[in-house]
């Protein structure tokens, strides 16, 4: 149970439901470390899981980031073609183009969720 997140949940739900009109949407959830960004997205995922296909991934702040990490996560269940291109070292433009095509040709609205950690420069 999340405290004081009713407005954020309502806003994200409205943004998700607008996908049914055939329009894309971008929602940015930002805030300081530990404020509850991931928890909010997980709550939204729980409530919308039945209605939408949700592609879920994160870009971890690793010293050696995984190239195309989120696309690997998405492709596993979403697009054999994208998975194939990733595995065979296709150029980035080809991979992103195939992912875009897969989203555009999907028969139901897709929600893509990526958690990011911004680097801190001291």
The CA distances from residue 112 to 49, 89, 90, 96, 122, in Å, are 12, 23, 22, 14, 31
Q: Which of 9, 27, 37, 51 binds ligand ATP (CB under 6 A)?
A: 37
Contact between 58 and ligand ATP per CB under 6 A: no
Q: Which of these ranges, 34-42, 48-56, 89-97, 99-107, lies near ligand ATP under the rule CB under 6 A?
A: 34-42
Question: Least distance to Mg ion from the beta carbon of 103, Å?
Answer: 24
Q: Which of these ranges, 30-38, 59-67, 90-98, 106-114, lies near ligand ATP under the rule CB under 6 A?
A: 30-38
Contact between 10 and ligand ATP per CB under 6 A: no
Contact between 38 and ligand ATP per CB under 6 A: yes
Interface residues toward ligand ATP, by CB under 6 A: 2-5, 31, 33-39
């Amino acid at each position: 149970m999340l405290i004081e997140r009713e407005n954020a949940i309502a806003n994200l739900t409205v943004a998700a439901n607008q996908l049914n009109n055939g329009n894309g949407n971008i929602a940015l959830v930002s805030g300081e470390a530990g404020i509850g960004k991931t928890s909010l997205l997980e709550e939204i995922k729980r409530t919308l899981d039945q209605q939408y296909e949700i592609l879920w991934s994160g870009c971890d702040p690793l010293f050696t980031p995984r190239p195309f990490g989120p696309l690997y996560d998405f492709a596993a269940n979403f697009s054999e073609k994208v998975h194939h291109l990733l595995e065979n070292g296709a150029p980035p433009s080809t991979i992103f183009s195939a992912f875009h095509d897969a989203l555009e040709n999907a028969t139901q609205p897709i929600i893509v969720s990526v958690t990011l950690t911004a680097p801190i420069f001291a």
